[in-house]
Chains A and B, each alone.
Chain A
Amino acid sequence: MGSTSSTLSKIPNAEELSQETGFTSAHLARLFERFEALDKDKKGYLSPQDFEAIKELALNPICDRIIGAFFSSGQEMLDFSSFVRILAHFRPIDNNRPKEPNSPDPINSRINKLKFAFQLYDQDKDGKISRNELLQVLRAMLEKQVTEEQLESIADRTIQEADLDRDDAISFEEFRKSLEKVNIDHKMSIRFLR
């Protein structure tokens, strides 16, 4: 229990952040509390180690990639605004927000959610998921007992299905097309309980 206004006053640029990410002030305050709880040494920013300390995250097969998504520009310090901007990708899509013709897509648009997922695969950020990158993800998600051949055949099949221009890699467009019918809003969104 507490008043939102006193937590919000600790957040720099709360108003703009709320506008940019679409989080309500109440949700921003909750996320700020979470940010402070994760920042055990009270540094004012988060480091990859703070993420690794989250037990549930540590058992996720692709935890390194998810953590990497937060620290994508290579820096080792994550401030609150960047933290929230990344999490904004997972806000449920608001269908009632009118789309202004020339404004950029909101962070949580379908396209941006797909881009976020794409970068989990495309680690070298060249805009394509190469065969090798696909193999690396498969290696991470599957157990050690799965053989190289099995991995290769899975990778082959996946590329075959999605790769339309036959360049042996999956571009973002091909990725998007292949997942056209998936309910991205439901699968890549996190809802606050209140």
Chain B
Amino acid sequence: MEGSYWDLVLLVMEVWLFVVLGLIVLPAMFGVSLGFTDLYIKVLVKTLEWATRRIQRGQKEQDTLPAHLPNGIIERNDDSMEEQIVELRRSHPKFHSVGDFTLCDAFYFCKKGIESIVDDEVTQRFTSEELVSWNLLTRTNINFHYISVRVTIIWGLGLFIRYCILLPLRVTLAAIGLSWLVIGTTLVGLLPNSNVKNWLSDVIHMTCYRICARGLSARIRYHSKENRPKKGGICVANHTSPIDIVILANDGCYAMVGQIHGGLMGVIQRSMVRSCPHVWFERSEMKDRHAVAKRLKDHIADKSKQPILIFPEGTCINNTSVMMFKKGSFEIGGTIYPVAIKYDPQFGDAFWNSGKYNMVSYLLRMMTSWAIVCNVWYLPPMSIQDGEDAVHFANRVKSAIALQGGLMDLSWDGGLKREKVKQSFKEEQQKMYSSMIVGQD
């Protein structure tokens, strides 16, 4: 009796492995799609559309909250400080256009202050984008109100599919992908340096990322592939989550830049660098900007090395906007290849809110979403122009990326997620106002 029980278990496992390897891993490695993901997404879209219609029908009977608009909930006046204060003073009996203070000037600052209390541009960038309609995931459910039995059943079914079928599948795939990476790169690392080694290294990296992409049910569309980053260049992209790396590396080989971690991450990093050069820094080295710049410069000077992948925002933003690009990567020289990544939030929220979730819970959330659907646009290469400084260049690249990805172009520093606003920002406001009152010195 026991024998046959174990036989059964073994049989199930063999079938499972066959399914996984034969139908997913092997085609993935060869870059072939059997069409499962596309079919799955089609079915998903139909289901979500149906669910949206039911929910909207149900909502008509109740009061609805106006949808959260990406540009905030209140009217803002974007005129400059000077324009607004002059407007304020226009009706004042003793109208001074410039110079001299008027009591009503404080109204400008007061109103701006209250506006930012009610709604500010920055705080909303560090939380997940609100969806216009619910996508049957519990986590995006802000105010779920029981609509109908059918929607609830579909939701329950979705829950079962995601947690009991998709999750184990995806975890298996991720495990296979990562072990393949570690083992493969270590083996390749034993070979002497040669073209064969480089080719093998590329193959190993690419296949691993493809398997991982299947592990997330990712459907990625690449646009303008002719602008793909070339060797000796720097690839620059907006940052939403660690998954960005998997997304980009599915279509090309990059040299990663980052800090060496401990644990599993460290193991992966150390083995990757055996087969092809990546740029890993110790924590202490990161502080020395010159050392960092030098290593990056040396890397891109060697035309046989893969292009570097850098995320100049420095932190994860929620994919509705692009925040300040740190100028460090733009000072090194070399050609910049901008890339815009935009996720479709309908299928799963890719944003990593590192304050709220650690890496493991984040990955779990990723693997229990419907899918990761995103668009990647390769933009034409840009270089720094004569007389342009790094900050201006960085902003130019940022605007290009924001424009292509349909994201808001903000000049706020992503580091504000964790830090306080610098005193210098306040001083800038004071300076602007002073120039109106006492004139330029």
Q: A-side interface residues toward B, CB under 8 Å?
A: 1-7, 25-26, 29-31, 34, 37-38, 51-63, 66, 87, 90, 116-117, 120-121, 137-138, 141-146, 150, 154, 157-158, 161-162, 170, 175, 178-184, 187-188, 190-194
Contacts and interface: CB of A to CB of B under 8 A. Distances in A.
Given A154-B100, A191-B75, A137 B120 contact: no
Interface residues of B, number: 69
Contacts of B412: 55
Given A6-B143, A145-B441, A26 B65 contact: yes
B11 interface: no
Contact of B106 (A53, A62, A194): A62
Contacts of B289: none
B73 interface: yes
A60 B428 CA distance: 10
A194 B67 CA distance: 9
Given A154-B437, A187-B107, 16 more contacts: A1-B67, A3-B143, A6-B145, A29-B65, A54-B116, A87-B117, A90-B111, A117-B107, A141-B433, A142-B433, A146-B437, A178-B103, A182-B88, A187-B108, A190-B118, A191-B75
Contacts of A5: 62-63, 145
**What are the 7 tightest A-B residue pairs by CB atom distance, in nearest-first order?**
A2-B143, A56-B116, A194-B66, A58-B421, A66-B113, A59-B425, A4-B63
B221 interface: no
Nearest to A189: B111
Nearest to B59: A3
B113 A57 contact: yes
A6 B106 CA distance: 38
B9 to A, nearest CB: 45
A149 to B, nearest CB: 11
B331 to A, nearest CB: 26
Interface of B: 55, 59, 62-67, 69, 72-75, 87-88, 91-94, 100-123, 127, 130-134, 142-145, 412, 416, 420-421, 425-431, 433-434, 437-438, 441
B123 A54 contact: yes
Nearest to A57: B116
Contacts of B64: 1-4
24 contacts: A1-B59, A1-B67, A1-B134, A1-B142, A3-B64, A25-B63, A26-B66, A37-B127, A53-B420, A56-B116, A56-B120, A56-B122, A60-B113, A63-B113, A90-B114, A121-B106, A150-B438, A154-B437, A158-B102, A175-B103, A178-B92, A178-B93, A179-B103, A190-B115
Contacts of A87: 114, 117-118
Contacts of A193: 66, 69, 72-75
A166 to B, nearest CB: 17
Contacts of B108: 187
Contact of A183 (B91, B101, B118, B131): B91
B106 A137 contact: yes
A57 to B, nearest CB: 5
Contacts of A90: 111, 114
B92 A120 contact: no
Given A60-B426, A162-B103, A183-B91, A55 B73 contact: no
Given A3-B143, A142-B433, A179-B92, A59 B110 contact: no
Nearest to B93: A181
Contacts of B87: 187
Given A154-B101, A154-B437, A194-B66, A66 B114 contact: yes
B104 A187 contact: yes
B63 A60 contact: no
Contacts of A38: 117, 123
Contacts of B59: 1, 3
A99 B65 CA distance: 29
A77 to B, nearest CB: 16
Nearest to B56: A1
B74 to A, nearest CB: 5
A177 to B, nearest CB: 10
Contacts of B115: 56, 190
A123 to B, nearest CB: 12
Contacts of B104: 179, 182, 187
Contact of A142 (B103, B123, B438): B438
A59 B426 CA distance: 4
Contact of A190 (B74, B416, B420): B74
A55 to B, nearest CB: 4
Contacts of B426: 58-61, 63
Contacts of A26: 63, 65-66
A192 B74 contact: yes
Contacts of A59: 421, 425-426, 428-429
B107 A2 contact: no
B113 to A, nearest CB: 4
Contact of B117 (A3, A4, A54, A141): A54
Contacts of B144: 2
Contacts of A53: 420
A182 B91 CA distance: 5
A34 B88 contact: no
A3 B60 CA distance: 10
Q: Which of A2, A90, A120, A146 has the most CB of B within 10 A?
A: A2
